[in-house]
Amino acid sequence: MLTLLRNVELYAPQYCGNQDVLFAAGKILAIGHNLNINSELHQEIDGSGKQLLPGLVDPLAHITGGGGEGGFATRTRAMNLTDASLYGVTTLVGALGTDSISRTLEELIAKAKGLQQDGLSVYCYTGSYSYPVATLTGSISRDLMLIDQIIGVGEIAIADHRGSQLSVHELARVAAECRVGGMLSGKAGIVFVHVGDGKGGLNLLHQVAEQTDIPLTQFYPTHINRSQQLLEQGFAFAKAGAMIDFTASTNQACLDSGEVAVVDAVQQAINANVPLRQISLSSDGNASLPVFNDRGELTGLEMGTVASLYQSLCQLVAAGMNLAEVLPLVTSNAARTLKLTQKGQLAVGMDADMVLTTPDMVIDKVWSQGLLLVDQGQAVRYSQFERC
């Protein structure tokens, strides 16, 4: 079935004005003014007064659930389809976190395949916080070459008491193996790095680039808005040509302990002349977030959400930023860095991952590879057991 979407304000993510978009079999076939279709086998949807955005690309989500840092009862639940689809996220990269014992890569791949069958596009990082890197096949490069979903290593932890306290040499070897596996498989082979609040910040990544032949761009560090100090280190890292990633999921306890809210972090980046194409946002969905009382004692846990990615986009727009300028932070920037060549942009030949919204950013419809997941703001597809 051909679908012709008429008269949308197209953000590709750059603003392209009023356009019609024709799609079928999961791909965008044509974009133009007043497209004419000589086929009775097509449906038309009137998009007048609406804007069309690329499906959001989330470079970090704990699709199998994360957490567990307060004991077994604090492990978070796995994701469902509508955790992403209702908020316009059509592509995710799943990762393990602190726990790579009760959470396994086998489970991660199985969950990715399940969400793919539900309609999303899902990729994975091999490994976890720890070093030596846990793999499925015995090596990072074999995982990259032999397992379709795996596009890199992550989130390997540095500057964090929960990490493996890697040396420069150890991290360089991980990056080298990931780089070669990426080259041989035609994938990004990126090392996605969890940066904690430890003293070193991003220093270890700079040391690898200085002391070995691995370029800084091999690393894609996240949680850069964790503190003002790390944010400023991140700006220097981005100005050196590499990507940085801000975490969208937050709560009051995180902000009280010094995390910089996404809107503030992006505004600071603009003020510091950091190119916005060097920045992405990730949800850290289904990670656990601490809650503290007035005395700083841990009193509970909340869960990060994939929804935070779209909510952050809305907050950036509400703060007066231009939609076309900030949209790459949640679409094309991560897609480019992760070499997801069919994702993050609306153009002929790209996957038909699209979000139709009102001018004030209320989501009407979401398609993932042409499949309608959300209609009139309501889910029309669910994961198998999510309503049980």
62 vs 336 by CB, closer to Zn ion:
62
Contacts 24+ apart (CB under 8 A), 201-206: 201/159, 201/229, 201/230, 201/233, 202/158, 202/159, 202/230, 202/233, 202/234, 202/237, 203/159, 204/158, 204/159, 204/166, 204/168, 204/171, 205/158, 205/171, 205/237, 206/237
Q: Rounded to an integer, what distance in angstroms lies between the CA atom of residue 353 and that of residue 89?
A: 9
Structure token pair of residue 373: 């997941």
Q: How far is the CB of 45 from Zn ion (least distance, A)?
A: 39
Q: How far is the CB of 194 from Zn ion (least distance, A)?
A: 3
Of 193-201, 232-240, 254-262, 340-348, which part binds Zn ion (CB under 5 A)?
193-201
- Asked if 103 interacts with Zn ion (CB under 5 A), we say no
How many residues line the site for Zn ion (CB under 5 A)? Answer: 2
CB-based closest residue to Zn ion:
194
Q: How far is the CB of 125 from Zn ion (least distance, A)?
A: 11
With CA atoms as reference, report the closest residue to 364 among 331, 26, 373: 373
196 vs 370 by CB, closer to Zn ion:
196
Q: Rounded to an integer, what distance in angstroms lies between the CA atom of residue 362 and that of residue 319?
A: 16
Beta carbons of 235 and 299 less than 8 angstroms apart: no
Q: How far is the CB of 291 from Zn ion (least distance, A)?
A: 18
Beta carbons of 64 and 94 less than 8 angstroms apart: yes
222 vs 345 by CB, closer to Zn ion:
222
The gap from C-alpha 230 to its chain's centroid, in whole angstroms, comes to 20
Residues 6+ apart with CB under 8 A from 57: 89, 90, 91, 92, 330, 331, 332, 334, 335, 338, 340, 343, 344
- Asked if 194 interacts with Zn ion (CB under 5 A), we say yes
Q: How far is the CB of 223 from Zn ion (least distance, A)?
A: 6
Q: Rounded to an integer, what distance in angstroms lies between the CA atom of residue 371 and that of residue 149?
A: 20
Question: What are phi and psi for residue 297, nearest 5 degrees?
Answer: -90, 140
194 vs 343 by CB, closer to Zn ion:
194
99 vs 155 by CB, closer to Zn ion:
155
The gap from C-alpha 169 to its chain's centroid, in whole angstroms, comes to 28
Q: Please give the residues from 338 up to 377 whose contact with Zn ion meets the rule CB under 5 A.
A: none
Q: How far is the CB of 155 from Zn ion (least distance, A)?
A: 5
Q: How far is the CB of 204 from Zn ion (least distance, A)?
A: 15
155 vs 259 by CB, closer to Zn ion:
155
Residues involved in catalysis: 284
Alpha helix (H) residue ranges in the chain: 81-85, 105-118, 140-146, 168-185, 203-211, 228-239, 252-256, 262-271, 307-318, 323-326, 332-337
Mask of contacts with Zn ion, 138-177, x by CB under 5 A?
A: -----------------x----------------------
Q: Percentages helix, strand, coil for the chain, rounded to the nearest 5?
A: 30, 30, 40
306 vs 374 by CB, closer to Zn ion:
306
Structure token pair of residue 22: 């024709």
Contact residues for Zn ion, defined by CB under 5 A: 155, 194
